[in-house]
Amino acid sequence: MLTRRPHGSHPPRPAVALLAGGVGAARFLRGLVRHVPQSRLTVAVNTGDDEEFYGLHVSPDLDTITYTLAGVVDPRQGWGLAGDSFAALGALARFYGAPWFRLGDRDLATHIFRTARLKQGAPLSAVTAEIARRFGVRARVLPMSDDRVRTFVRLKRGGLVPFQDYFVRRRFRARVQAIELRGLFRARPLPALLEAIARCAAVILAPSNPFVSLGPILRLSGVAAALRKVRPRVAAISPLIRGRAVKGPAHRMMRTLGHQPSALGVARLYRDVAGIFVLDRSDRRYAEAIERLGMRPIVTDILMNSEQAAARLAKVVLDAVGL
C-alpha cells in the first residue's frame, strides 16, 4: 500500500513568471531555466509585434521565446531556428519582391500551423500552447492576450508604420515620435497572465524594450494593477547599460519620447509595478536615486554575453526576490 508523504515535506519549487519581449528576454531566459525548472515557469509574451507576412500570422516574440525554451533557436541571431534554410522565402520574392523579414523554411511551418489554427477559430493562447508542446517546451508560454493589439510607430518623418516595418525593414534607424498600441483598450489580458502575476513567488520584467516589448503587456487593462498588488516580489531588469540598449533602439526611444535614456529613466517607468530594480555595475551611481523612487536597487553585471553570464544574472535576480 502506498503511503502519502506528509503534506509539505516536499514543498513545490517556487513558481516564477517572466514578462517578455523577444531576443533580450530570451537571452535572460536561457539563464533563468538553469535555476527554475520549466514546469514552474510562466512566460507571458508581447504580441504587439505580431505581423502578417504573405497571409501568415507571424508572432516573432512568441517564437523567439518558444524556440529558446526548446533549445532550437538560432544561437547567432537569437531568433529563428538554428540551421534553417530560406528556399521558400526566395521563391516568395517572385510574387512579393525582395523580402525584408527573414522567414526560414522550417520556421515557416510554425507560421503555417498558427495561421491555419487561428483560421479554424482557435485562440492564440491555445495555438501557442500547441506549438510549445510540439517543440517539447515544458514552460507555460502565454501570449499577453488572445485579442489583437498591434504596435505602430509614429516616425518624425515617414508617418505611422507597423512595428516590424520600423524595426526590421527600416532597422530602427528612423526617429520615433510616438508609439501607438492599436486595440489596446479593447484587449483583455490573458486570465492566465493575471493569475501568474498573483500566484507566482516572483515576477520578473525581462530586460526588454520598455515601450514596444513590455509596454504592450504592462498597459493591458488590469496588468499594472495586478503587479502593484505583488510589487515587492516584482523585479525589473534594466535593458540599458551606460545609457544604451545592448541591441535595439530602446535608449533612442527613451530620449525622443521624453525620458532620460538611463537605467534611472527605465526605473522611473517601472516604479509603480516593480519593487526591485536590477541595474548594471557601470550604472551604480543611479542606485540611490532608484532607492528614492521606492525601489530596491540591485547592482550587478547585467550584460549577458554568454549563457553563464545570463545564469549568473538570473541567480542574482532570484536571490533579490528571496528565491
Interaction of residue 198 with a second copy, rule CB under 8 A: no
Q: Which is nearer to a second copy, 31 or 162 (CB)?
A: 162
Other CB atoms within a 10 A radius of the CB of residue 88 amount to 16
Q: Which three cell numbers stand for residue 29?
A: 531566459
Distance CA 10, CA 251 (A): 45
Of 22-30, 94-102, 235-243, 272-280, the window that binds a second copy (rule: CB under 8 A) is: 94-102
Question: Do residues 80 and 22 lie in contact, with contact meaning Cβ atoms separated by under 8 Å?
Answer: no
Tell me which of 37, 39, 71, 96 binds a second copy, using CB under 8 A: 96
Give, as ranges, the residues between 13 and 72 that touch a second copy (CB under 8 A). 54-56
Q: Tell me the C-alpha to C-alpha distance, in Å, between residue 118 and each of 26, 35, 124.
A: 25, 34, 7
Of 86-94, 156-164, 225-233, 291-299, the window that binds a second copy (rule: CB under 8 A) is: 86-94
Interaction of residue 115 with a second copy, rule CB under 8 A: yes
Nearest CA-CA partner of 314 in 19, 20, 35, 23 = 35
Question: Do residues 131 and 114 lie in contact, with contact meaning Cβ atoms separated by under 8 Å?
Answer: yes
Distance CA 223, CA 68 (A): 25
Residue with cell 504596435: 151
Over the window 127 to 146, marking each residue x when it contacts a second copy by CB under 8 A and - when it does not, the resulting string is ---xx--xx-----------
Helix axes of 23-32 and 307-320: crossing angle, nearest 10 degrees: 80
CB of 126 to a second copy, least distance (A): 13
* Identity of the residue numbered 209: N
Distance CA 37, CA 21 (A): 20
CB of 124 to a second copy, least distance (A): 15
Interaction of residue 100 with a second copy, rule CB under 8 A: no
Phi-psi region of 212 (alpha: psi -120 to 50; beta: other; left: phi over 0): alpha
Other CB atoms within a 10 A radius of the CB of residue 184 amount to 18
Q: Which is nearer to a second copy, 107 or 146 (CB)?
A: 107
Q: Which is nearer to a second copy, 106 or 315 (CB)?
A: 106
CB of 29 to a second copy, least distance (A): 21
Interaction of residue 108 with a second copy, rule CB under 8 A: yes
Over the window 232 to 271, marking each residue x when it contacts a second copy by CB under 8 A and - when it does not, the resulting string is ----------------------------------------
CB of 54 to a second copy, least distance (A): 5
Q: Which is nearer to a second copy, 164 or 238 (CB)?
A: 164
Of 8-16, 82-90, 151-159, 181-189, the window that binds a second copy (rule: CB under 8 A) is: 82-90
CB of 106 to a second copy, least distance (A): 4
Number of residues that bind a second copy (CB under 8 A): 31
Distance CA 113, CA 115 (A): 5
Number of H helices, E strands in the chain: 13, 14
Residues that bind a second copy (CB under 8 A): 54-56, 81, 84-85, 87-92, 94-96, 104-110, 112-113, 115-116, 119, 130-131, 134-135
